[in-house]
Structure 1
Amino acid sequence: MQVLVTGASGFVGRRLGPELEAAGHAVRAMTRHPESYAGAGKAVHGDVADAASLAAALAGCEVAYYLVHSLDAADFEERDAAAARRFGRCASEAGVQRIVYLGGLGDDADELSAHLRSRREVEELLGSGGVPVTTLRAGIIVGHGGTSWELTRQLVEHLPAMITPRWVRTRTQPIAVDDVVRYLVGVLDVEATVGRHFDVGGPEVLAYADMLRRVAVIEGRWMPVVPVPLLSPRLSSLWLSLVTDVDAQTGRSLVDSMSNEVVVRDDTIRRLVPFEPMDYDAAVLQALGERAAAARGKSAPKPARKGA
């Protein structure tokens, strides 16, 4: 199958390309800078802001993976909406049979943050041209290089103690990046996933505070977490930008979302693409191992998996 991967050099995309090739698919890796791309697949130029480049990148593809978002811009909602609408139209004109999108968890009955509302809007706009969209909705994705994971790791490593807002009590269901990729690849072989959305998560539901404590234990640190109820989202994002390398705009978008519980409500995907996801500690250990290997210029070994 001819498959286009947008965001091919990003956190998820650079892991997805090799797995798609291993599954026998022909991969086109869409990037704004194909001359410097060194990952899996054939590099093709494409920019979600440029319809002409999208038409060329999508030509002849049966499936397109959409792994693009722009949290670091103040107008990210408008940018992402325009990009999704454009991509959906170009995919339809190119005869693409399916779009696969990685979105975000969150209960539609809640007052969702701007970030999570945008993810839902993108789902709809990608399908506005008539191409069926398969959406996998995830919460925090644990893996070396992921923004939410890096924020977690850096908070643990940079602070002797955490004075935190109330969002540390919010529940989430983190998932290892390798498991996200397994779902993204797996849905291609299951006709029942076409045109549907699915919640994906790891086996554990944890509060953010529990996640921080677990990372601290794994790293051999002791870090008390003390919630402070009056720390505003703006102050929280500025604080994050001071103690981590996450910029203030991205931090604000993430902090706003941390008031929303992001847990799996429907585990149908577990039956359609069956395997045993990694637990949180295993995902953390793999992420730390990948970081250490990257610092040495090597690839970290993959852990043994159950249910493969």
Structure 2
Amino acid sequence: MEQPTTVLVTGATGFVGRRLVPVLVERGLQVRAMTRRPESYDGLGVPVGADVADEAALARALAGVEVAIYLVHSLDHHDFETRDAAAARTFGRVAAEAGVRQIIYLGGLGADDEELSPHLRSRREVEGLLGEAGVPVTVLRAAIVVGHGGISWELTRQLIKRLPAMIVPRWTSTRTQPIALDDIIRYLAGVIDHPDALGQVFEVGGPEQMTYVDMLTVASEVANGRSVPVVPVPVLTPRLSSYWLSFVTDIDVVTGRNLIDSMSTEVVVTDHRIRQVVPGEPLSYREAVQRALAERLREGQTV
């Protein structure tokens, strides 16, 4: 009888990782849940202690692993580009030495010929560095992932909850293509060991291309039963926007600034090849919002 694939999930306690691990276990895969605090891990899979900056610990975590799913970033640091580049280079090299046959990475949407923000530029750089040592990398490029606990979704939820009306900057008219967390999980699981996914870059998104104002409006209708009045203003710099967000939400200034820098870049799906590899219709934005709010309620928190 063939042995099940051994999969390492980095960031196993994070926003995406903690939803992905149970799905992979249910599919019969041998899952290692990588975390910096394995002694406190209470999820499914086998906890392994490692940090992407610690080569020795990574070597132990990756020993015998066939597929590695890379869900790590340092968006809450001023020097996140340097940190993420170093981590990706190290991870790719140690994975190659361990004989890993596929790395799967959740990156960011955005046309290659555009002037990308530092956040998106870093995501693009990580794609290349992960495969620098020779392991085939499967990249899923996504825009905003809508699900309970995600930073971008939390910004939206807190804004529509705390403000009776919103004065918004010009970047809120930029088009994006949000995707439900459930669909991200489905795609990540679906490309594992898939021969047509090795070394490929896929764009993933929900069915709608929306502006950030559209997203705020729909989210408010779902959560509050009404739309929040939105008043655009011509001048509100990324720096001022980040202070505004930190004032009305609990997102820190550094993370807010790094996210806002990316929101002036249009990020929409132009390549739908992922549907051939992982068939299925993605959820609508409205349904993604409903699911995110329902999960929050199940955890005993208010909408």
**TM above 0.5:** yes
Are 1:250 and 2:255 counterparts?
yes
Partner of 2:15: 11
- For each residue in 1:157-208, what CA deviation from the matched residue of structure 2 results, as whole angstroms up to 9, or x when unmatched? 1111111110110001000001000000001252111001100000111100
Distance in 1 between the 2:152 and 2:110 partners? 16
Distance in 2 between the 1:242 and 1:202 partners? 30
Within a 5 Å distance, the mapping from 1:294-305 to structure 2 comes to 294-295=299-300
Alignment partner of 2:267 out of 262, 266, 279? 262
Distance in 1 between the 2:232 and 2:185 partners? 34
Distance in 1 between the 2:300 and 2:132 partners? 43
Q: Which segments of structure 1 move beyond 3 Å, counting only runs of 4 or more? A: none
User: Structure 1's 235 and 296: CA in aligned 2 closer, same or farther, altered over 3 A?
Assistant: closer
Residue pair 2:160, 2:220 contacting (<8 A) in 1 also: yes
Alignment partner of 2:233 out of 224, 228, 232? 228
Residue pair 2:7, 2:30 contacting (<8 A) in 1 also: yes
Partner of 1:68: 72
Within a 5 Å distance, the mapping from 1:56-95 to structure 2 comes to 56-95=60-99
Within a 5 Å distance, the mapping from 1:1-308 to structure 2 comes to 1-219=5-223, 220-295=225-300
Find the residue that maps to 1:179 and give its secondary structure. helix
Distance in 2 between the 1:190 and 1:56 partners? 25
Find the residue that maps to 2:191 and give its secondary structure. helix
- For each residue in 1:230-278, what CA deviation from the matched residue of structure 2 results, as whole angstroms up to 9, or x when unmatched? 1010000000001111100000000000000111010100111101111
Distance in 2 between the 1:75 and 1:6 partners? 21
The code of the aligned residue for 1:271 comes to: Q
- Pairwise CA distance, 1:222: 3.3
The code of the aligned residue for 1:205 comes to: Q
- For each residue in 1:100-139, what CA deviation from the matched residue of structure 2 results, as whole angstroms up to 9, or x when unmatched? 0000001111110000000000000000111000000000
- Pairwise CA distance, 1:221: 3.2
Q: Runs of 5+ in structure 2 lacking a partner? A: none
Distance in 2 between the 1:224 and 1:296 partners? 25
Distance in 2 between the 1:18 and 1:25 partners? 10
The code of the aligned residue for 1:120 comes to: R
- For each residue in 1:36-73, what CA deviation from the matched residue of structure 2 results, as whole angstroms up to 9, or x when unmatched? 00111000011001000000000000000000001000
Q: Runs of 5+ in structure 1 lacking a partner? A: 298-308
Find the residue that maps to 1:44 and give its secondary structure. strand
Residue pair 2:67, 2:193 contacting (<8 A) in 1 also: no
- Pairwise CA distance, 1:296: 6.3
Q: How many residues align?
A: 297
Find the residue that maps to 2:271 and give its secondary structure. coil
Q: TM-score, normalised by structure 1?
A: 0.95
The code of the aligned residue for 1:251 comes to: G
The code of the aligned residue for 2:284 comes to: D
The code of the aligned residue for 2:96 comes to: S
Distance in 1 between the 2:59 and 2:194 partners? 27
RMSD: 1.0
Distance in 2 between the 1:281 and 1:46 partners? 37
- Pairwise CA distance, 1:146: 0.3
